[in-house]
Amino acid sequence: MDKKIDDSFVKIDLQLFADPEKTEQPTPRRLEKAREEGNIPVSNEFNMAMSLLAMSMLLMFIFNPLLSDIGQLFHDYFALNIEFEGPELLAYEIKSHINLYIKLILFFGVSVIVSSILGMIQTKFLFTSKSLKFDLSRINPINGFKRLFSMRSVVELLKAILKLFVVGFLTYNIIKGNWDTFLSLSDQEVGASFKIIFDMIINILFQLGLALLILSLFDFWYQRYAYIQDLKMSKYEIKQEMKEIEGNPEIKQRQREIMRRMLMTRMMQKVPEADVVVTNPTHYAVALQYDVETMDAPIVVAKGVDEIAFKIRDIAFKNGIPIIQRPSLARKLYEEVDINEEIPEELYTVVAEVLAYVYKISG
């Protein structure tokens, strides 16, 4: 025996059957919001690669002066006057080798400056304090485990292993290729030994920079890809965002209804001030007002069709406002003239006749 189920007792949220997967591309608003929060894709490998290349080129440029300053440092160290003690020794060292310290600061400062500039270029000079605010979700152990075992963590681990392999491989090849020279350093003068070591350092920095630059091309693409994947939205999220932007349709409809009622109330309050109501006589009704001293021409204070027209006629009847049947005039006034607007010049004559008739019968 079939049983009928009263669906009034069974309420099902259809959102439970919606696809929870975030399959939709992030909207411009979502991207802008993420940027405001400091969430933007940045390739640290690219910054590191350019910093190494800049350091290697700078080292080649200041190579000879730096080598001379280091040689002078060793010479002064072995010929140091032992009478200097404590602060005097420190002041003597700084004063005697200030050029060497400036070059070293310049050498390491270039890395910081280049990395900072490239970081700002990648972020399009974004400055935000939101990412510095304390957020309990960052120390949430559940979120921490999710990040630990996420695909992004796996990729970052593989990149770290790859970078370690590249650094070890390039360093090994360079040292292996110069092994004989490296073993003969003990037979070289101090200046020649430093020149050989500096050449190897420059070579290592330059090759590491090129290798990381190639790796950063992949990393830059991956960071952008992972960024979009993280910001992807579900259809429900897009729907909610549209509601936030455009407003809830139900609320907007309710607001329009309230506004319509307010305008209707104001319009009906003007009907008792009218001089005449022109009808067709059933469907249209237009209330006209004219004050010789303050108005250049009659104005429409109220108009409507069907039910609204009936209310206008009813209010006019209760307040003793004359009701005149002029079908063509009523339709033309309703279609061409808005509320609180003057009638057009082509209707002056016919409206004047109506007003004259009203003034005549009203004494």
What per-residue confidence (pLDDT) applies to 156? 77
CA distance 268 to 307: 13
Q: Report the candidate in 311, 255, 285, 233 with the shortest Cα–Cα distance to residue 27.
A: 233
Task: Note whether 80 and 207 are within 8 A (CB).
Answer: no
Instruction: Give the Cα separation of 346 and 328 in Å (integer).
Output: 13
Per-residue pLDDT of the chain (363 residues; tens, 9 = 90+): 444 444 444 444 444 444 457 777 888 778 788 777 777 787 788 888 888 888 888 888 877 777 777 777 777 666 655 555 556 666 767 777 787 778 778 877 877 787 778 777 777 666 666 555 555 555 556 555 555 656 777 777 888 888 888 888 888 888 888 787 777 776 777 667 777 777 888 888 888 888 888 888 888 888 888 888 888 888 778 777 777 766 666 777 777 788 888 878 888 888 888 888 888 877 888 888 888 888 888 888 888 888 888 888 888 888 888 888 888 888 888 888 888 888 888 888 888 888 888 887 776
pLDDT the model gives residue 245: 66
For CATH 3.40.1690.10, list the domain ranges present in the chain. Answer: 270-362
What's the pLDDT tens digit per position in 93-131?
A: 777 778 777 877 887 787 778 777 877 777 766 666 655
Residue 321 contacts by C-beta under 8 Å, 6 or more apart in sequence? 271, 272, 274, 275, 276, 277, 287, 315
pLDDT digits (tens, 9 = 90+) for 79-89: 655 555 556 66
DSSP 337: -
Question: Which CATH number is associated with domain 270-362?
Answer: 3.40.1690.10
The CA-based angle 302-304-309, given to 5 degrees, is: 100
